[in-house]
Amino acid sequence: MGCCSGRCTLIFLCTFQLVTALERQVFDFLGYQWAPILATFTHIVVVILGLFGTIQYRPRYIVVYAVWAAAWVTWNVFIICFYLEVGGLSKDSGLLTFRLSWHHSWWHEHGPGCVHKEPAASLGPPDSQALVPGIGCTLEHGYVEALHSALQILVALVGFICACHVASVVTEEEDGFDFICGFDPFPLCHVSEKPSSLSLEQACL
């Protein structure tokens, strides 16, 4: 029963992670955030792998998911530090776009309560629209991104614990499985290695 509840919890967590990762991927694409796009794409692939391993009793896939969950926590801690400008990081730098464009987070202009302001016509670069922040935002875009990452960290930590538990239980079940008599520690079936006395008597006759 414990194994079933652990597997069901992990399946739910993986499904929830897929939904939140797809939502985050959409907004990263809208903001042309190439580094988060690549990281989130890898996350989606590994979560699908972990979901498959949980359903099909594949402990190796579950272990891969657990290892990635730890890496995913580290990545999201970096994202929080980046947008809150901890340790000399600047959210206005082009680090997350690989310096290929001047785009910022999509929430920079479209955050909660923001009033979008169109830039005045100029001879500037075509990316100039991305430099105009929203006006009167209820929540600054750095905090919105940090909250997204905090949610990912919380779910990944719970997923890591569940994955370790499920992987250990599935591995123990595989080690204790008897391919002739199943999981029964005292099997009823017995293969006799002694020759039959009846066949010996028949040979004498």
pLDDT at 66: 97
Rounded to an integer, the average pLDDT of 135-155 is: 87
Give the angle 32-33-36 at the CA atoms, nearest 5°: 145
**What's the CA gap between 100 and 125, in Å, rounded?**
13
Percentage of residues of the chain with pLDDT beyond 90: 49
- Residue 186: band (very low, low, confident or very high) from pLDDT cuts 50, 70, 90: very low
Alpha helices in 89-140 (DSSP H): 107-110
**What's the CA gap between 12 and 30, in Å, rounded?**
28
**In this structure, what token pair is assigned to residue 89?**
């990081």
DSSP 188: S
